[in-house]
Homo-oligomer: A and B are copies of this chain.
Amino acid sequence: MKILIVEDEAKICAYLQQGLNEAGFVVDTSRNGLDAHHLAMTEHYDLIILDVMLPDVDGWTILKALREAGRDIPVLFLTARDSVDDRVKGLELGADDYLVKPFAFAELLARVRTLLRRGINRSTETRLSAADLELDLLSRRVTRAGQRVAITTREFALLELLLRHQNEVLPRSLIASQVWDMNFDSDTNVIDVAIRRLRAKIDDAFEPKLIRTVRGMGYMLDTSGGN
């Protein structure tokens, strides 16, 4: 599997390359948009990791050019934490996933694998939702019944996981591995507490309750309205 990394910051670029190499991928890198575009048009890549902020041409432009040239390579966007609105437009151009800096390498790797596994692109997921709960992956914004809800990083990760597996029971161990990097400490209740915080924010003041406890199993995001 061959991956092209387009990222101007040398350190980040080097570490992504190293990390992905160690994970068994062949990796090319480009530090600017023009070379990136050229490479993407001439070489064959299974995936492109594309920083939006580049010194010359920005990421969207490159993506757009690729798509217009009929190239259906999966693209994983790297975006900076701020400057939200700007970015939305880019993702609408056909990126396949996004990642907001800063991020853990494990996270990147997981997404890379997902993208590669599902083959050619499956169009952008900008938001997830269940009932009247909406979660905007790009801006990391959450609304319930139209109301904006403030949410922290961990809470977001947890909620995203729940939403990506609606109506599936998620065992604690799975949650721990996804949201806490597989930190399975049998005698801690971090997850319970995190669920509690999440409920306080998105369920306490609303109906129907979305987060359901499945005794002895774990938690699930239940859209059936309770039955």
Contact = CB atoms under 8 A, between A and B. Distances in A.
Contacts of A103: 183
A184 B106 contact: no
Nearest to A173: B11
A204 interface: no
A14 B105 contact: no
A53 to B, nearest CB: 11
A90 B12 CA distance: 41
A186 interface: yes
Contact of A15 (B101, B106, B177): B177
Contact of A106 (B101, B173, B181, B186): B181
A182 interface: yes
Give the oligomeric copy count. 2
Interface string A1-31: 0000000010110110001000010000000
Contacts of A12: 173, 184, 186
A102 B184 contact: yes
A104 interface: yes
Contact of A14 (B24, B104, B173): B173
A131 to B, nearest CB: 30
Nearest to A171: B11
Interface string A102-131: 111110000000000000000000000000
A15 B105 contact: no
A59 to B, nearest CB: 17
Interface in A73-120: 81, 101-106
B182 A15 contact: yes
List the 6 shortest-distance A-B pairs measured between CB atoms, nearest first: A102-B185, A105-B182, A11-B173, A104-B181, A102-B183, A12-B184
5 contacts: A15-B177, A19-B177, A101-B184, A104-B182, A106-B182
